[in-house]
Amino acid sequence: MFKFDMLTKKVDEFSSKSLLDAVRAGKLDKVGAWLGRGGDPNTVDEKGESILFMAAAKGYDGIAQKIAAAGGNVNFTDRYGATPLFVAATKGHTSVVALLLAQPGIDINTQTVEGNTPVFMASWLGHVAVVDLLIDANADLTKFDSMAATPLHIATEYGHENIVGLLLEAGASPNQPNRDGRTPVFMAAWHGHIGIVKRFIRAEADINKCDDTNRTPLFMAACHGHDEIVALLIQANADINKCNQDESTPTLISAEKGREEAVKLFIAAHADINKGDKNGYSPIFMAVLNNHANIVHLLVEADADIYKPNNVGKTPLMVAMERNHEAICAMLLEAGTRDRKSLLQAVVDGNFELASKLLAKGVDPNVINDETGESVLFSAVSKGFEGMVSQLVAAGADVDQTDASGRTAIYVAASKGHANIAQMLLRGDYNQSDAEGRSPLFMAALNGHKTIVELLLLVRAEKNKVNHVGDSPMHAAVSSGHLNIVKMLVEAEANFSITNLAGKTPLDIASEKHHQAIVTLLTDAAAADRLRLIKAATDGDVALMTLLLGKATSPNLLNDDVDSVLFVATTKGHQTIVQKLIAAGADVNFVNKEGRSPLLVASQIGHRPIVVLLIRAKAVIAHSDKNGHSAIFEASAHGHDAVVGMLITCGADVDATTMDGVSPLFIAATRGHTAVVNLLLAMGAANDVHDQNECTPLFLAASKGYAPIVDLFVQAGADFGFSNKVGITPLYIARKRGHRAVVKILHDADTKLLQDVRDEDIVVSSIVLGRGGQGVVYKGKWHTQDVAVKTVLNTDGLDSLRKEIETMRRCNSPYIIKMIAVLEQKLDEPKLVLEYMNSGDLRSYLDKKRTHAPVDVEFSKLELAWAIANGVLDLHEQNILHRDLKASNVLLSTTNYIKIADFGISRDLGTETLTMGIGTSYWIAPEVFDGHYGFPADIYSLGVILTELDTLQAPYANLNLKFMTILDQVRSGKLRPEVSPECDEWYADLANWCLQHKPEDRPTAAQVLGVLEKQMRAVYPEC
């Protein structure tokens, strides 16, 4: 069996080899025989090619027929993807192709690894008949190779016109781009296949379709010198100006490469012969660059722009000169000269069409006529050629170019009244004057050209510019009698006060020439300006002020109140207006009807910058008005310390007084201007001046409660003990008006002045002022001052007196009787020297008031309550309890005011010996009867005194009760002193609050003082 298998294998190998050999040799009969014996119709050789593939490649149509009939695979592919049909089409074996196409199931569109189909290969290699067969078999004509090329692309590239025709007839697209964006028509134009181009044009191919670099078929034909195709495409309406990615046109590439015939074609087709590439190179530039003189000549004759520079500013002529292209240089120079002459003539003749053409090609719009020295623009303006002027301006003509007389184009237009032309020329300097200094506005005004005047004023031409003899446009209009123009200039705020070199204003000229209407107009305008200047000063209108002063309106005008405009502006604080008026020559020392100068009013309102401006302008600092008020007085009176300082620095007299004798320091102190007082005192102002009532600044400051100012005067050494005409001191009036802070300052200052007192300095008289169980008070003398001298009757009173001395040393209050000295030479008989209260005690004072007996001094109920409450507060702030507050322990004086006295039983709050039975019982708080004594106990006693001040009676004087009954009811809270039915509600409320049964329900001394202070401020509101 094994031998048989081996034999069979050998037979098969022999059969395949024989079959392959027969196919290779083209032995049809042997191929048939072997296939008849069972040979494999799909036998492949060592290359992997089937016998059908081999037969198709060699064109053995008979063999191919037998193999196919025997079952050979008609769609077999070799290692490159080629089929028998592919190789037959490639080799052009028409008969093999035909028989294969007849085989059922054949794939006629199979692509190789490179994407090639049978029809593609046949089209490439020009096998017309094969292409025809494949088209008939419906081959796919859209399949493309690896370059995206279709059969139509490849046939076109290799110039197979017949095949192109077949493919087009079969519907192949002439607009299908390949991988580089190139269409078949592009390929035909590139490679110069004119017949194919014609076919594409007939097939209505898109002849403007660009490749990926934006090149068109026309561009490619021009680039490669295919002139016939260029002509053909132009005739077919190809876009002759289409640019590539470098912005090069077909004309430019033709000029660059020297394609003379193509350039002619493009010129004839009216191509844009001036279009440049991305570097600004135009066709003529490229022709010059490459020295193509014949093309330069063609372009020059076609009116190409020979002046247009490239992107780096070089013109064709410059490049020709750089490269020594002499023939081209001569050609360009001659063309330029010809163009300039033509433009000059065109302008003179009014040949707008020719001028437009020349300007369009780049002829310089600033050509000068050698004979007249005028520019073409000047000539056009002179002749009134509006269209020509417009064209020249649009082309870049220099509108500011002048002629020999310095006249510009707009000057001429203004002189001749060419309004539309003047409007075109406004981009230039419309203020440029001629050799005589006359501006365009001047000429328009002189010649009465209203529209041009209006136009120039609208664009803000210099309306006050003067010529060489000082005449302005207003002078010109007035001189010529042009009322309407004069009116326009006036309305435009032109200066009608300018004086020319002959000393004449426009009004003078109008009067001389009897132009009465103009005289009236200018006179009315001047009057209106004066009113406007006053209004500008009042309103602070800087722009209007600047304008009017610029028109030479007087800066020294007066309003209806005879105030100068500088005074008015100063009053309103308009600093910039003041500055401008001063700069214009305003009189800084002019005074109004009250004699007040700008400096006075600036000092009054405290406008330091204006004060500085006025002083720099030589304002008189010492000037005073009818009331004697100076600048420093006004600044001081209104608290402007910065202005006061400035005036002092500039030499103002700090002690200058008014007609009433009031100094700056006096008025500042009176009005509470602390900073000003401080400054004036520091600068040496006299502090001892006084008014008609002999009140000093310190006195008035004290009376109004200006504590910081009082302190400044004290520090400056002012006499705070000085009395006014009625004998009242600053300390007294401050106490009377309830100015606690001022009182403290003055009291402390007075205390510091006390000197050491020797025993021999005190003279004790035998006059007894008061007597108690343990001590007595005598009237004494210390130098010239009355004093009270308190001593003990026996040694039992020593402890109480020493405690009183200690208390008074600790509490130095203006509302506590002042201790002057302690005399202790005799240790068993010390003496306490006190200030003398010459009006007795409060209880005696109230008794006299009740019986209408005369008293030494008058005090209001509020004053008394205020002083006593202040004393209690000062004690409590030092942690001291009085413990014996009652009306008889409050002393009065005509000079030393109201003071609390008798501290013999006072104690610190923490002292343990707080017992009842001490002091007068009717003033004792309920809790004291149980041995409890604190600050509220003093407040209760104060409340009892408040009822005394209201009723003028001692407590419970109107009750018919026994002493102990009263004490028991007070202790139990059933009884307390009361105010009268007529008492003010606020006062009654305060007294009842102080007399509350529970200590914790009573106010503090500070709270009591708070209620009283509101009432004091109501009585003395100016404080």
Q: What is the dihedral of CA 547, 551, 555, 559, to 10 degrees?
A: -80
d(CA 1006, CA 1003) in angstroms, rounded, equals 8
Centre a 10 Å sphere on the Cβ of residue 617 and count the other Cβ atoms it contains.
20
Residues 6+ apart with CB under 8 A from 579: 613
d(CA 894, CA 727) in angstroms, rounded, equals 9
d(CA 779, CA 763) in angstroms, rounded, equals 9
Based on the number of CB atoms within 10 Å of its own CB, is 579 exposed (0-12), middle (13-18) or buried (19 or more)? middle
∠ CA 14-16-21, rounded to 5°: 95
Q: Look at strands 831-835 and 897-900 and give their pairing.
A: unpaired
**Could you list the active site residues?**
884
d(CA 58, CA 655) in angstroms, rounded, equals 139
d(CA 448, CA 437) in angstroms, rounded, equals 19
The order of strands in the sheet holding 819-823 is 762-771, 775-782, 785-792, 831-835, 819-823
Residue 32 is encoded by which pair of tokens? 């048939």
d(CA 815, CA 585) in angstroms, rounded, equals 63
Cα 83 versus chain centre, distance: 81
H or E segment to which residue 881 belongs: strand 880-881
Helix (H, G, I), strand (E, B) or coil at 1011: helix
Centre a 10 Å sphere on the Cβ of residue 90 and count the other Cβ atoms it contains.
22
H or E segment to which residue 236 belongs: none
Partners of 841 in the beta sheet? 891
Residue 868 is encoded by which pair of tokens? 């006593």
Residue 713: closest CA among 727, 698, 730, 703: 698
Residue 409: closest CA among 946, 348, 418, 583: 418
Q: Look at strands 897-900 and 785-792 and give their pairing.
A: unpaired
d(CA 74, CA 71) in angstroms, rounded, equals 9
Give, to the nearest 10 degrees, the angle between helix 516-539 and helix 542-550: 140
d(CA 45, CA 165) in angstroms, rounded, equals 40
Residue 89: closest CA among 63, 114, 56: 56
Residue 703 is encoded by which pair of tokens? 């009376």
Backbone angle region of 71, left / alpha / beta, with phi > 0 → left and psi within -120 to 50 → alpha: left
DSSP string, 903-972: -TT-EETT-S---SS-S-GGGS-GGGGGT---HHHHHHHHHHHHHHHHH-S-TTTT----HHHHHHHHHH
Q: For 965, phi and psi rounded to 5 degrees?
A: -65, -45
Are the beta carbons of 363 and 339 closer than 8 angstroms? Answer: yes
Are the beta carbons of 424 and 389 closer than 8 angstroms? Answer: yes
Q: Which residues of 97-125 are buried (b: 16+ CB within 10 A; e: fewer)?
A: bbbbbebeebebbbbbeeebbbbbbbbbb
d(CA 120, CA 66) in angstroms, rounded, equals 27
User: How far, in Å, are 23, 57, 88, 770 from residue 27 at the CA level?
Assistant: 6, 15, 19, 176
